[in-house]
Chains A and B, each alone.
Chain A
Amino acid sequence: MELSVLWFGIAVLAWVLFFVLEGFDFGVGFLGPLLGRTEAERGAAVRTVGPVWDGNEVWLVAAIGVTFAAFPDWYAALLSGLYLPMIALLLLLAVRGVAIEFRGKHDTARWRNRCDAALAASSLLLAGTWGAVLGVLVSGLALSPGGEVHVQGWLGGLGRSLDPLFGPWAVLGGFAGVLLTTVHGATFLALRTTGVLRQRARRLTIATAPALLVVALALFIAAGHAVVAAAAALLAVAAVAAWRRAEALAFAATTLAVAGSVVAVFTAHLQTGAGTGAWVLLRSTLGPSGDVTLGAAAASPAALHLITVAGVVILPGVLAYQAWSYWVFRRRVASGPSRRTARPAAVGRAAR
């Protein structure tokens, strides 16, 4: 197998891990304040991701780093073509990270409420904007043969990189992003909390999954991609599992649904260059001459060889200690009184 194909796989894996892990982080970010009615409940929601969100976000560093290292042209075209949306994402991530990290470092109700508001708003916008950006990846960018978007656009040039966000695929992606994040975050919260928070999160999963199912089926009819059908089936599984109180199964189902959707987006155009045999990483809406292809975008064999050696040595270790950190924090986070904690003897098997 060519190293560039291997690294395409690793890049997609890194993006998948980022969206799966940060997907529930984002969900918890805006569901916490929504489902937590008291400050203690909101605090418990944030604590479910507190120890791990930072490690999760590093998958974005890994994803963009691997994309840069293995496919410099893809990295350059994607980021410069989506300049303003990417800046917005970075600034939203900045606000969100600081809101999580600063929330517990000072103890007045006003401080925490402000942090919660910033966390909820940025998380919701992030879910929508990332969804829209993934939608743009499906529709493509107006790339000229040099790999750049040269269209000036409206508003004295601001439209150049904002315009793609207003296409039908981007809008649909934005909606799907928010909905999928809601279900994914809710199944995670149900898995990681106790008491009322757990009950509310479970109910939210049961209520939202069918809506997403409809969106997924509509997408399937429009795009005909088998992965979308699989995602729809998984959401049905999640809803049923939540209803049956099988929380780990529900979370596993939404995880696979997010992963499948991301894989579908990144492989959407691989085969469009079938005539020339070139795999398309990023489609140009101006015609095939602007397409960013796997072969042309790949770094030199020496660079790929280097990151292969580094990746083989380092990545299994990363996965191992991240898994360990999830194991260390496997305990549920208490979220205040509920019917169950009033009768400790009933806790346990009754949870099934």
Chain B
Amino acid sequence: MTIEDLTRLQFAVTTLYHYLFVPLSISLALFTALLQTAHLRRVRRGNTDDTFGRLSLLVGKLLMTTFAVGVVTGLVQEFQFGLSWSSFARFYGDVFGPTLAVEGMLAFFLEATFLGLWWFGRDRLPALVHLATIWIVAVGTAISAFVILAANSFMQNPVAYTIDAQTGRARLGSFSELLFNEVNLAAFPHTYAGAVMAGGALVMAVGVWHLLRGDYAEDTREFAAFRTLSRFGAWALLAGGGLVALSGDVLGKVITQVQPMKMAAAEALYRTTTGAPFSIFSYAPPGSDKPTFSLEVPGFLSFLAKGSFSAQVLGTKDLQDAYVAQFGPGDYVPWIPVAFWSFRLMIGVGMFAVVVAAAHLWVTRKSRVLRPDRRLAQGLLWSVGLLPLLPLAANSFGWIFTETARQPWLVFGLFKTADGVSPGLTFAEVAASLAAFTVVYGALAVVWVKLAVRLVRKGLPEIPAPAPTERAADDEFVTTY
């Protein structure tokens, strides 16, 4: 294994890990804001039922624990370009640096500061101001996602830059052009909807788990609350799934335009084909250019790529020849099995989660409740443990596909991955840091899961009464300088 391989592995591990917590933070912030808004509307109408308030507190607690891990692992991401990829940072700093700086200043400050205000400010802020703090967090997470995806979209489809003749480095042209990269315009809704799916699956699982465990009698408020939560999560999962499919279709067509090699790799399409089929499953022995077995939907790949069942789709072999002519000798074909399977798993796993959500909505339609003795309900119970993992897995497969099928390029057509590694870095350093990341990240994961399970197990939290001691202490401060 070379330093480059190990550094790439480290980047993949730290990034995929970070991205388990990001989509959950994005969606749980949105859900907390929505639930608290519902609560406040009820309070304003004189309704004393505090179900939505308590639900917002439960989801908010999950948000706080998730956000904490997301923050500390996100910090690693921001340092990583200088730590392990300093040549890349020098080449690309002019474009990437401002993007990261703007994300930090514009969005991350908002999220961190206002999340603290939301959690600790419950009895210090007027109700509407308190509600505004969590909405600011939710909007901040969306801005973060948009700006960071703009940086990634540049790596998929470089725009708004010039190459400095003197230094050979990328120079930023227009920032708005960078933000509104056509890849980003499709990738942002796709990623955001994927995040909503992740949070939806989590809260749905929490609700279903309490209903089926029989913690509460059917006529209690808690039972009604968890029924509401499970259906809320299922609707979010369903809506997110719909938007993921739509935006994914648009994104696929854009990527076919800007990175035809990626889509060819996703389909393992060796030769340029007119009216190309989409294979759901295929097996090709190593080294062969034709699968020995495959299950295909005729013309569907052409439709996915170009919007027409008879359109021509370029194959990897022809693209390789074209790239050699354009960029010089080299291997421009990414690792096909990874591209092929991550693409299918992303779609398949995500679709499965949507089916589970639809089944739950059907079973609990109108005022029906889950019956643990019915077969479909038992199936649901079996799937709740798995359910929160499905959209997270789909998100991860999506990123694996996006990032590995761009190889050997770091910035497509401009800068190769092999040229980006920090030149001074030693093998021992990367190995040691990878080991340290594995240990600490592993421990964080165990603690997070333990804490999340405990939070969920405890059931619906009560809305805490204001702490009286701190009010008394306040008088003291006023007279102290």
* Chain B 108-123: CB-based contact to A (< 8 A → 1; otherwise 0): 1110111111011100
* Chain A 190-216: CB-based contact to B (< 8 A → 1; otherwise 0): 000010000000000000000000000
Question: Are the C-beta atoms of A325 and B117 separated by less than 8 Å?
Answer: yes
B475 at the interface (CB under 8 A from A): yes
**Known contacts A300-B172, A331-B473, A333-B470, A322 near B429 by CB under 8 Å:** no
**Known contacts A86-B83, A93-B75, A97-B68, A348 near B476 by CB under 8 Å:** yes
Question: Are the C-beta atoms of A55 and B116 separated by less than 8 Å?
Answer: yes
Partner-contacting stretch, out of B96-104, B252-260, B296-304? B96-104
Question: Are the C-beta atoms of A310 and B105 separated by less than 8 Å?
Answer: yes
A150 at the interface (CB under 8 A from B): yes
Which residue on B lies nearest to A347, using beta carbons? B476
B479 at the interface (CB under 8 A from A): yes
Q: List A contacts of B437 (CB < 8 A).
A: 87, 91
Closest approach, in angstroms, between the C-beta of B447 and any C-beta of chain A?
A: 7
* Chain A 58-85: CB-based contact to B (< 8 A → 1; otherwise 0): 1011101110111011011111110110
Question: Are the C-beta atoms of A73 and B97 separated by less than 8 Å?
Answer: no
Question: Are the C-beta atoms of B479 and A69 separated by less than 8 Å?
Answer: no
Question: Are the C-beta atoms of B476 and A332 separated by less than 8 Å?
Answer: yes
> Which among B71, B109, B120, B424 is the interface contact of A62 at CB below 8 angstroms?
B109
Question: Are the C-beta atoms of A58 and B108 separated by less than 8 Å?
Answer: yes
Question: Are the C-beta atoms of A76 and B82 separated by less than 8 Å?
Answer: yes
Question: Are the C-beta atoms of A157 and B426 separated by less than 8 Å?
Answer: yes
Partner-contacting stretch, out of B40-48, B86-94, B362-370? B86-94
A288 at the interface (CB under 8 A from B): no
Question: Are the C-beta atoms of B480 and A248 separated by less than 8 Å?
Answer: yes
Q: List A contacts of B477 (CB < 8 A).
A: 330-332
Q: List A contacts of B64 (CB < 8 A).
A: 101, 105
A25 at the interface (CB under 8 A from B): no
A90 at the interface (CB under 8 A from B): yes
Question: Are the C-beta atoms of B75 and A310 separated by less than 8 Å?
Answer: no
Q: List B contacts of A343 (CB < 8 A).
A: none
Within 8 A of A (CB), among B436-462: 436-437, 440, 444, 447-448, 451, 454-455
Question: Are the C-beta atoms of B175 and A61 separated by less than 8 Å?
Answer: no
Question: Are the C-beta atoms of B433 and A87 separated by less than 8 Å?
Answer: yes
A-B contact pairs, 23 of them (CB 8 A): A54-B112, A58-B104, A58-B109, A58-B113, A60-B75, A65-B104, A68-B89, A69-B100, A79-B83, A102-B447, A156-B426, A247-B481, A299-B94, A303-B171, A303-B172, A306-B172, A310-B106, A322-B109, A331-B470, A344-B472, A347-B476, A352-B479, A352-B481
6 closest A-B pairs by beta carbon, nearest first, are A72-B93, A157-B426, A79-B82, A69-B97, A101-B68, A94-B72
| Interface residues in chain B, defined as those with a beta carbon under 8 Å from any beta carbon in chain A | 61, 64-65, 67-69, 71-73, 75-76, 78-79, 81-84, 86-87, 89-90, 93-98, 100-106, 108-110, 112-117, 119-121, 124-125, 164, 171-173, 175, 422-429, 432-433, 436-437, 440, 444, 447-448, 451, 454-455, 469-477, 479-481
